[in-house]
Structure formats: structure tokens, C-alpha cells
Structure 1
Amino acid sequence: MAADIVENEEVVKGAQQEPQLPEDKPEPPRELLADALRKDASHPVFSKGFSPTLCLELGGAADGDSLLEQAALTTRPVCFLSRSHAFRMNDHSSLAVLSDRINCFLPRLLNKVDVLLLSPDSNDQNAIILPFISRLLAPKGRYYVLLSAEDKPVELCRQMGKKGLVSREVISKQCGHGETFSVFCFTHKNK
């Protein structure tokens, strides 16, 4: 009789357990950066009087998808159109340029870049572009970069501060196996 009770309790316990759902698929860091761009674009403090004309995205996905285009199109009512057509309809242009360095563009881009974006697929290029960021950004320009704790964001913020830039965390999220990613925006200090 006691064996029957124990056996029945085990059956009841097994029946009460809910099936294990697979873990949520972690949001790719690339999508977190796109979310940060959308969030920043809709923030009244930062969108007031800011109408970017020159946006530069370094890195990117192998399929050629642009985070800047994704963010721009999802904040506009014409997102059902193709990207190039949507940009034309909104009187904007988008041009993809393949280059392994920014050096060839530096003279023409100095103090003119309104939005500079370093795609998470190319964080290793951060060290290459770091010395140029403050010179590339227009007076109201913004530099967005996605960082993990491994990337030492506090150290990067200090380095950028020495170059006359201030930082703020736009968005932060725990992705995947407990790793937290944050998107930082760097701008020139107000004079």
C-alpha cells in the first residue's frame, strides 16, 4: 500500500510538471543596435533640431543589410517599399561603399558625419577608427557603438572623454548566455 502511494505521488508530480520550453533565442546584438537607433530617433530631446544628412556605417552584415536603413525605414510610413525606393521617396540617398579602411574618405568627411555607426560585426575595427571619431563627427554628430563588458566600456568612455566626446548609454540588454550588451552614443561636449 505504501509503495502504491509513493508510486502515485511520483506520477502526480510528473503530470504536474510543465513541459520545458526552449530558451528564448537571444536577440542578436545587431538588432539591439538597430533598436537603440530607433529609440534615439524618437526621443524628443535628441531628435529636436537634429536632421542628419551624412550617415556612415562601418562594417555590416554579409548580406549588405544596413542598420541605418533599417532604423530609418521603420520610423517612416513607407517601410513597405524597397529600401532604395523608400530613400528616394523621402528625398534621401543611400550608397554602399566597400572599403577596408576609412582613411581614403577622411579628408572629405572631417567634421561632416552626423551619424557614425560601428556595426557589431566589426567591433575589432573600433581600435582603428577610435583616433578619428572626434574629427569625423559634425558638431551635433553622434557615434553609436555596441559594447559588451569584455569591450571595457568604462575605459572607452574615458578615452573618448579625452578626445572631447561625452557618452551616454542608449540601451542595454542581457542576451544569450547572460552576457549584457550596451549601446553607447558619443557626442561632442557642449561648448
Structure 2
Amino acid sequence: MSIQQNIIWHDSAITKEDRRRQNGHHSFVLWFTGLSGSGKSTISNALAKELYDRRIGNYVLDGDNIRNGLNKDLGFSDKDRTENIRRISEVSKLFVDNGTVVLTAFISPFLEDRKKAKEIVGEDEFIEVFVNCPLEECEKRDPKGLYIKARNGEIPDFTGIGSPYEEPDQPDLTIETSEQSIPACVDTIIEYLERRQLI
């Protein structure tokens, strides 16, 4: 007998719409994807501050932070990367249900994993933001020194070096961090959200 057969979803007395009304804003996921060093965490945190200043409840889920706790049992094999994204998707869905704007900063290198993340969260509440930056520029930045280690063979299966990064084919929004400043990137995202009447 499957464990799932003994699990029954318990509906909350307070709905997502109730929480959104109380919070005074919509809830959704901004899914930042891109190579290591492309600027995902920097942009998501700068955007979080801008949303906070506008009294829009939000929370940043960052790849390294999540791997220090919830996903510290996972490695970087393709299977573990997929499970990493699945867990984050489920957590993000809970935040959205709470009426919160979620900003996720994960390389999430595989198209299929991001597709499944969108299915879990819900198409209308999932915004894929491609943080586009050439590999050469990411290597120049190398804020954590990971590219050097990867090139030296110290980190196998590192995305962009030993493991592929599959660029989004139809992202909702593309940010060019090699051409735009962080404030300009934030402004671009804010304009997009305002245009869609999400904030």
C-alpha cells in the first residue's frame, strides 16, 4: 500500500484570496534562473528591498541558503538537482498560498525541472525570469571562486563547465546583467509587474 493512500489534503479555513485581501496585494513566484555569477541573488535581494519599501510582503529563497537547511541532504547529481527544484517549488507554492510574493534564486539548469516547477506552483502564479549573462562574464565575476575550482577539476558537474545549462526557450522576462545595472534590472522587473497589474 502506498503512503499516499493514507494522506488526505486538509483545506484551510482561510483561503489564498483571503490572505491576499488582507495583505493588499497579489501573490506569485518570480523564478530567477541563470548561471552561477549571473546576478540572481543580487537582483532578487535588491528587488525584495524595493517590494518591502512598497509594503509588498515577500521572501527570497536562495540556492545556497536552502542547501544549508531544507536541502542539505542533496548533492549536485542530475537526480539531486531535480529533487532540489521540486522541493523549492512545493515550498514556493505554500508561500503563494500564504499571499506572499516569492523570489527564488536558483540556477535550476534543466528545462524540464523548471517546467515541473511551473506546474507545481501554477501557470498563472509563476514568472520565469532569465538572468542572462555570458559564461565568460560569469567567470570573470566568479564571486565564490567556483569557476576556478571547476576548471581545475575540483568541482565535477559544475553548471556551465562540466554540466549543461539549458536556457529558457520562452521566459516571461529576460534580464541582461552584463548590460544593465542592478537598479536598472530592478526597474525592469517592477515595470513588468506593474504592467501585469500584479503590484
Tell me, yes or no, whether TM beats 0.5.
Answer: no
TM-score, with structure 1 as normaliser: 0.35
TM-score, with structure 2 as normaliser: 0.34
Structure holding more strand per residue: 1
Bigger radius of gyration among the two: 1
